[in-house]
Amino acid sequence: MAVVTTPKPSEELISINKTLDQTNTITLRIARSNPAEGQETSYSEFKVPVKKWTTVLEAILYVKQNLDHAVAVRYSCRQASCGSCGMKINGKPGLACYTKVSELKSNVITVEPMNNFPIIRDLAVDFKQLISNHKKMKPFIIREDSEVTPESKEFIQTPKDLENFLQFSYCIKCGLCNSACPTMATDTSFIGPQGLAQAYRYVADNRDKGKEDRLKIVDDSHGIWRCHFAGSCSHVCPKGVDPAMAIQLLRGYMLGFQK
Partner 1 sequence: MRESIIMKIHYGTALGAVALVAVHILMRMTQNFDQSLQYQNVIANYHFLPYALMLEAVLILLSVHGFNGLRVILLELKQGSTYERMVNYGSIAAMAVLIAYGSRTILMAGMGIS
Partner 2 sequence: MAERLSNREGIKGMANPTRYGIERVAYWLQRLTGLGLLAYLIGHIYETSTIVHGKIAWDKMLEFTQTTQGHLFLTLVIGMCVFHTANGIRVMLGHGGIGVGKPGQPEYPYKAASLNYKQRLCIWVSIGLAALAMMYGASVLFGV
Residues binding partner 1 (CB under 8 A): 183, 186-190, 219-223, 225-226, 254-255
Q: Contact, 177 vs 183, CB < 8 A? A: no
C-beta closer to partner 2: residue 153 or 259? 259
Of the pair 7, 38, the CB lying nearest partner 2 is at: 38
Contacts of 243 by beta carbon, 8 Å cutoff, 6+ apart: 168, 171, 177, 193, 194, 196, 197, 233, 234, 237
Interaction of residue 238 with partner 2, rule CB under 8 A: yes
Give the DSSP H or E segment for 162.
helix 159-163
Q: Which is nearer to partner 1, 32 or 226 (CB)?
A: 226
Cα 133 to the chain's mean position, in Å? 16
- Told to check if 170 binds partner 2 by CB under 8 A, we report yes
Among residues 65, 69, 255, 259, the one that binds partner 2 under rule CB under 8 A? 255
Interacting partner of 170 out of partner 2, partner 1, none (Cβ under 5 to 8 A depending on kind): partner 2
Q: What contacts 79, CB < 8 A, 6 or more positions away?
A: 97
d(CA 45, CA 50): 15
For partner 2, which is the closer residue by CB, 43 or 257? Answer: 257
Query: Which one among 117, 124, 172, 203 touches partner 2, defined by CB under 8 A?
Result: 117
- The answer to whether 139 touches 195, Cβ cutoff 8 Å, is no
Helix (H) or strand (E) holding 111: strand 108-112
Burial 99-137 (b: 16+ CB within 10 A, else e): bbbbebeeeebbbbbbbbbebbbbbbbebebbeebbebb
Q: How far is the CB of 135 from partner 2 (least distance, A)?
A: 19
| 189, interface contact from partner 1, partner 2, none, CB < 5-8 Å by kind | partner 1
Rank residues 195 and 238 by Cβ distance to partner 2 and give the closer one.
238
String of contacts with partner 2 for each residue 68-87, x by CB under 8 A:
--------------------
Distance of CA 84 to the CA centre of its chain: 8
Q: Name the site residues for partner 2 (rule: CB under 8 A).
A: 35, 91-92, 113-119, 125, 163-168, 170, 180, 182-186, 188, 204, 228-232, 234-242, 244-246, 248-249, 251-252, 255, 257-258
